[in-house]
A and B are shown apart, each in its own frame.
Chain A
Amino acid sequence: MTRPADFLDLWRDALQKWERQTNEVLNDVSADEGVSRVMNQSLAAMSRLQAQQGEAIERLLVRANLPSRADFRVLGERLDGIESQLADLRSLLLGQAAAARGEPASEAPKPARTRKPPKPEAKP
Chain B
Amino acid sequence: MSAAAAEAPDALERMRREIERARERNIKGWNYLISPGARPGVTPKDVVLSRGTLSLYHYRPQVSEVYRTPILFVMATTNRAYIFDLAKGQSFVEFLLQRGFDVYVIDWNPPREDERRLRLEDYVLDFIPSCIAEVQARSGEEQVSLVGYCMGGVLSLMYSALHADGPVRNLACFTTPFDWSKFGLFNRWADPRHFDVDGIVDTFGNMPADLIAASFDMLRPVTKAVGQVQLWDNMWNDEFVKSYRAFDRWGAETLPLAGEYFRQTTKELMFANKLYTGELEIDGRQVDVANIKVPFLHVAAEHDHIVRTEASRELTPRVGSEDKQEIVLKGGHVSLVAGPNAVRRLWPQLDAWLAPRSA
Contacts and interface: CB of A to CB of B under 8 A. Distances in A.
Interface of A: 1, 3-4, 6, 8, 12, 15-16, 18-19, 22-23, 26-27, 30-31, 33, 36-37, 39-41, 43-44, 47-48, 50-51, 70, 73-74, 77, 84, 108, 110-118
Contact of A40 (B141, B196, B222): B196
A12 B193 CA distance: 42
Given A27-B219, A30-B188, A15 B226 contact: yes
B194 interface: yes
Given A1-B6, A23-B221, A84-B50, A77 B112 contact: yes
Interface in B338-359: 355-356, 358-359
A47 B14 contact: no
Interface string B25-69: 000000000000000000000000010000000001101111110
B359 A117 contact: yes
Nearest to A16: B226
B314 interface: no
A26 B185 contact: no
B136 to A, nearest CB: 13
Interface of B: 3, 6-7, 10-11, 14, 18, 50, 60-61, 63-68, 100, 102, 112-114, 139-141, 185, 188-189, 191, 193-196, 199-200, 203-204, 211, 218-223, 226, 229-230, 233, 355-356, 358-359
A30 B220 CA distance: 11
Given A1-B6, A4-B7, A43-B200, A33 B188 contact: yes
21 contacts: A1-B3, A1-B6, A8-B18, A12-B233, A18-B226, A19-B222, A22-B221, A30-B185, A30-B188, A31-B188, A36-B194, A40-B191, A51-B203, A108-B60, A111-B63, A111-B64, A112-B66, A115-B66, A115-B100, A115-B359, A116-B359
A31, A48, A117: residue with the most chain B Cβ atoms closer than 10 Å: A117
Given A1-B3, A19-B222, A84-B50, A47 B203 contact: yes
Contacts of B223: 19, 23
A41, A74, A111: residue with the most chain B Cβ atoms closer than 10 Å: A111
B131 to A, nearest CB: 17
Contacts of A31: 185, 188
Contacts of A37: 191, 193-194
B140, B193, B220: residue with the most chain A Cβ atoms closer than 10 Å: B220
Nearest to B139: A113
A33 B298 CA distance: 33
Nearest to B67: A115
B133 to A, nearest CB: 17
A80 B58 CA distance: 21
A23 B222 contact: yes
A75 to B, nearest CB: 12
Contacts of B185: 27, 30-31
Nearest to A118: B355
A73 B222 CA distance: 34
A41, A51, A116: residue with the most chain B Cβ atoms closer than 10 Å: A116
A48 B203 contact: yes
Given A36-B189, A74-B113, A113 B66 contact: yes
A70 B57 CA distance: 29
A40 B195 contact: yes
Given A23-B220, A26-B222, A117 B355 contact: yes
